[in-house]
Amino acid sequence: MARREGLFVRRSVCLGLFLLSGCGGAPTTPASGATGDTPAVHYSFGVDPELRTLSATVCPRDLRFTHLRMTTPELLDRVRRPRLVQATGDVPLEFEEDAVPIASMADGACIGYDVDLGPPGEGFWITHGDAHVLAAPDVWLLAPEPRPPGTRLTASFTLPPGVHAAVPWPGDPRGYRVPETAFTMRGAGAFGKLERETVRVGGAELDLVSLGGGFGARAPLVTQWMQRSASALTHLHDGFPVPRVMALLIPQSGSDVGFGMALRGGGPTVMILVGSSITPEALDAEWTAVHELFHLSAPRFQSKDVWLSEGLATYYTYILMARAGMTKEQGAWDDLQDGFRRGSRRGTGRTLRQESIDMHETHAYQRVYWAGAALSLLADVELRKRGVEGGLDGPLRELARCCARSEEAWSAEQFAAFVDQKTGQAVMGPLFERYIDRADFPETAEILAALGVKGAGREMTLAADAPRAGVRSAMMAPRAGGKGP
């Protein structure tokens, strides 16, 4: 079986799901029930036909805010011409550090500003492609302050013919409702030529948004792959773990899948680079979408515990692909075992927690991801040995129900306490305590042998008479009652 040696070289740390919104000429009539004393702020956005400049007007109602703040200060130089917009004429305003102070504002006045979307790009914040620009709301959505709890924030877009907007916000009679998480978590957005298709998976809507010219004749292949990948999550959860998902699919040169990213700001989002010449054979074995979508079924974790978020996602990627028939059981065990070997060789001698903190400087991705995956395996098997039906599956289903869309960043300690409380077994807490602050890789050889995983690659066998062979088979068996497409 071919190895995926570039697995983590091409990956980013991931996090959640997305909704398509926005077409030219979004309605701007007042929302039903939008009058009264409820504080409200409405954003009106426009983009020029060349996708180089975004213009914004921010209008409050029953609210006096004193600042508009940039949520991504490092991109502050892209914001131009902040101004007070009023009937008597515009009044220039100035930035002070990362915010525009507003000393006084007459009734009916608004705040305007422009944002430079032109090159050079800023990674995933601003990237130009074929007739589109990937432009995260972090760049162009300035936050009004103060805004009391319950403030209604809405937005509309007026765009040139053929230009559409993709943002992770739910619909609203005025265009879109802007969730509070748009200001507190990283999000994604795009403008330009977009191809859209919506499919239903496990009771959820999956909005597939392809940038630029899309994938042409290969579009059905990509749709089927995304639908199949999302359906894999139903072999863990009761349906898909969140009600609506948007996948922002970015064509790139080549015939394979690049890397993906999961985001939560303003709504759940996955962004995935897909080769414009992708083949059915490449998609048959592709794991990226399952991995990114899995992140949506859990809360975000603190950055120091990225080993946990990425480890869980890595481990369950292969488990769920096997359950869904996207790979054979033997192939899944081979990939897991190979990953453990690579992860054990590619660290810098730091503890697991410190490796996670320094990962982007040291590039010890394999050590971090696969150590987390190894701990997931050890916990899953131990829980099953102790008679907990489904092992980790049950606690993860509970976690999705309560907390998948939580704004709180969980710690590894919180997660361990949650699992141990739900299972009634002190497994996860002691396991984490044993390995988090140690430099050695979790020992998996003994567990794999007990499961009957022997050899590697073409020489691998799954022994039916192994002590834990039944546990091994149950771990990757299709889940009864899973809700597919």
State whether 281 and 375 are in the same domain.
no
| CATH assignment of the domain containing 124 | 2.60.40.3650
**What DSSP string describes 400-457?**
HHHHTT-SSPBPHHHHHHHHHHHHT---HHHHHHHHTT-SSPPP-HHHHHHHTEES-G
- Phi, psi values for residue 294, rounded to 5°: -60, -40
Tokens linked to 413: 């300690």
Helices and strands counted in the chain (H then E): 14, 22
Percent of the chain having pLDDT more than 90?
82
Give the pLDDT score at 445.
96
- Total domains, the chain: 3
Tens of pLDDT, residues 438-457: 999 999 999 999 999 999 88
Q: Does 315 share its domain with 285?
A: no
C-beta separation of 14 from 313 below 8 A: yes
d(CA 182, CA 168) in angstroms, rounded, equals: 8
3 pLDDT tier (thresholds 50, 70, 90): very low
Task: Tell whether the torsion through CA atoms of 458, 463, 468 and 471 is positive or negative.
Answer: positive
Q: What is the DSSP letter of 166?
A: E
Residue ending a domain, choose from 149, 181, 213: 181
- Write out pLDDT tens, residues 366-384: 999 999 999 999 999 999 9
Is the per-residue pLDDT at 110 higher than 80?
A: yes
Could you tell me the CATH number of the domain that includes residue 257? 1.10.390.10
Residues 403 and 383 in one domain: yes
Shared domain check, 453 and 390: yes
* 290 & 385 share domain: no
Residue 118, classified by CB atoms within 10 Å of its CB into exposed (0-12), middle (13-18) or buried (19+), is middle
Residues 246 and 368 in one domain: no
Q: Would you say residue 24 has pLDDT above 60?
A: no
Predicted pLDDT of residue 346:
87
Task: Say if 188 falls within a structural domain.
Answer: no
pLDDT band at 12 (very low <50, low <70, confident <90, very high): very low
Residues 249 and 321 occupy one common structural domain: no
Give a yes or no: residue 482 inside a domain: no
Asked if 18 and 267 count as a contact pair (C-beta separation under 8 A), the reply is yes
Mark whether 343 and 467 lie in a shared domain: yes
pLDDT over threshold 90, residue 247: yes
Which of the 8 DSSP states describes residue 37? S
Spatial contact of 223 and 214, defined as CB atoms under 8 Å apart: no
Q: How far apart are CA 455 and CA 338, in angstroms?
A: 11
pLDDT band at 479 (very low <50, low <70, confident <90, very high): confident
In single-letter form, the type of residue at position 336 comes to L
Task: Tell me which residue range forms the domain holding 454.
Answer: 303-475
Give per-residue pLDDT as tens, 134-155: 999 999 999 999 999 999 999 9
- 258 in the same domain as 176: no
Residue 17 has pLDDT above 60, yes or no: no
**159, 47 in Cβ contact below 8 A?**
yes
Radius of gyration of the chain (CA): 24
The pLDDT mean for the chain works out to 90
Average pLDDT over residues 284-312: 96
- Average pLDDT for 76-97: 94
Q: How confident is the model at residue 22 (pLDDT cuts 50, 70, 90)?
A: very low
**DSSP, residue by residue, 186-210:** ----EEESEEEEEEEETTEEEEEEE
Question: For the residues 338-349, what does the mean pLDDT come to?
Answer: 94
Same domain, 420 and 381: yes
Asked whether residue 468 falls in the same domain as residue 320, the answer is yes
Chain segment 29-69, per-residue pLDDT in tens: 333 334 457 899 999 999 999 999 999 999 999 999 999 99
Tell which residue, 372, 373, 317, 337, has the closest CA to residue 452. Answer: 337
- List of residues 6+ apart from 341 with CB closer than 8 A: none
Checking if the pLDDT of 344 tops 90, the result is: yes
